[in-house]
Structure 1
């Protein structure tokens, strides 16, 4: 199990500096305010909006941790952030779980969850109290959308989460709101999904009634063996999610390498459909494109495993 290799920015507390200095440094952009009485140094050049949000939120957790009671810990999507799990559509709201609401001082901008967190379901990440990886997956799957829940569950499996442990946690919560959805998310989770885009593409296909695709499907070609993000052997159909990082760096060289790979797959008798972030915004169009590429009948599924929100 890993909680990622990110670094938490140093928190600069206003109480340690003259008010005029704090105001001046924030005004010039040298410091960035993360919450009342706390700042961090300006973000490094080239930091995108998502990275800025994560840096500020992690630093805010450090500042907030001093106000937590002894039985409180960060949970839900906040714990997912500490575990360095990618999220989809997550707000910057901080989640804290404790056996009493008084464990967090009033005025803190947090979502308070009143529940017991046994010792075997809590840990420390970068010195911050948080739910274990399995507990984090269970909490997120019960309270998040199917999309966010599946993105987190897939990433957690890649980070070493034990699905049996998550299932046991859900069994102990039988009858509670969100458990049924969480079980469906866990059943659909796949360690082979390597990005949120791949998880969301698979979710759209499952929600449309397609049979579960095989992730990291190996295909032999005259150039060697390649792995596709997902696909169905019976239809000789491959789905590739194209994130921007795939083409970063030497763009022409990377593009030509991807083209040779795609040509080799087609020559080996496979059809290839590429999906981008923009395609995920219109699931119906994506589903129609996939159906048009299917060779043979599509098994009818009376009830999709997961539905889109």
Structure 2
């Protein structure tokens, strides 16, 4: 499966002499990404904007310099119009195997930079996370590579498989949910085509499970199966996805995404809901308030009043509260009946830190 995308907005070009570049670096006006690749440095710009600019600049370098590799993982998902839990700055590339082994470049390491052997495991992971390019070496079939905007990119199906296998579960499910929505065609007014969307999603799920069945005992397959089985085309934001994942790992019956609520004012579709207890959960991100906050708040109150008039209790939360996983789960356990909080947790969807906390709680 493949996808098309419109040309990506290009970051601003940096045209300076080497002496000017050094001056701008010293004053903090420029930030170096890699050799001969720089972006403007502005401390007032939000991190997600800086990350996006960084990623687009690096992708331009891949395209213009014809760097070896196929764009993969979260970078590929974004090129397929998918979503990610956090805005990534790193570009992931799958490169060909080098039979002669990797050869380090001739560049000298800065004198204040420790070697990899001197770093502990955690610092080593952090250092790897700051690399502009992360290169992976594994086999790709020709059918797993498509061309998007002049870039070689893993196909949508292969991107979903790789993200499910190799990303932490929270990031993996956010990406895979969004790719399910793309494959199923859950765009404008998806509720009018529920059966069609569910059928397409079921076929995509089976295709991914078939791929995973062909990789017995390979790394990440168990986690990937859990991600694929939990994925849905109905999640309309990454924080709705994360709320569902937290329920799954916390032993709470997962809510229905885009739950229909019929009211006197019409049918509304709640972000998440438990129809059995007539409760919905709305996740209010800040982005919806940027253009006309008063109008959005008025519509929000009218919608909530209509649902409450139909006998539905509405709880509201924010992405920041969902991101604080333990507190979010504690709140749900307070408002949901005990019968909905006795499910078997899906341990494969826990992140590494969540697994450590769970083991500590058992001790």
Same fold? TM cut 0.5: yes
Residue aligning to 2:268:
226
> Which residue, out of 127, 142, 153, partners 1:119?
142
CA distance, structure 2, for counterparts of residue 179 and residue 233 of structure 1? 33
Over the residues paired in the alignment, what is the CA RMSD in angstroms? 3.1
- Residue 201, structure 1, aligned to residue 198, structure 2: no
| 1:7 and 2:21 matched | no
Partner of 1:38: 37
Partner of 2:188: none
Choose the corresponding residue for 2:160, options 137, 144, 154: 137
Specify the alignment match of 1:68 in structure 2: 67
Q: Secondary structure at the match of 2:241?
A: helix
Q: Is 1:256 the counterpart of 2:298 in the alignment? A: yes
The answer on 1:78 being equivalent to 2:75 is yes
Q: Return the offset for 1:214.
A: 1.5
d(CA) in 2 for partners of 1:135, 1:287:
33
Shift of 1:156: 0.9
Normalised by the size of structure 1, how large is the TM-score? 0.85
Tell me, yes or no, if the aligned pair for 2:93 and 2:133 is still in contact at 8 Å: yes
Q: Give the TM-score taking structure 2 as reference length.
A: 0.73
From 214, 232, 241, the equivalent of 2:283 is 241
**Runs of 5+ consecutive residues of structure 1 not aligned to the other structure:** none
Residues 172-181 or 26-35, more deviating: 26-35
| TM-superposed deviation, 1:245 | 1.9
Greater helix content: 2
Alpha carbons 2:33, 2:132 under 8 Å: kept = no
Aligned to 2:361: none
Given that 1:88 and 1:196 are in contact with CA atoms closer than 8 Å, whether structure 2 keeps it comes out as yes
> In 1, distance between residues paired with 2:293 and 2:145?
44
Q: Which residue number corresponds to residue 59 of structure 1?
A: 57
Cα gap change, 1:282 to 1:47, in 2 (>3 Å): closer
Distance 2:7 2:316 in 1: 30
Q: How many residues align?
A: 304
Q: Distance between the aligned counterparts of 1:58 and 1:125, measured in 2? A: 14
Say which SS state the counterpart of residue 226 (structure 1) adopts: strand
Q: Does 1:300 align with 2:342?
A: yes
2:94 paired residue number: 97
C-alpha separation between the residues in 1 aligned to 2:161 and 2:45? 31
Please point out which of 176, 180, 193 is paired with 1:153: 176
Indicate how the Cα distance of structure 1 residues 100 and 250 shifts in structure 2: closer, same or farther if over 3 A, else same.
same
Q: Determine if contact 1:93/1:110 at 8 Å carries over to the other structure.
A: yes
How far residue 4 of structure 1 moved from its aligned partner, in angstroms, is: 4.9
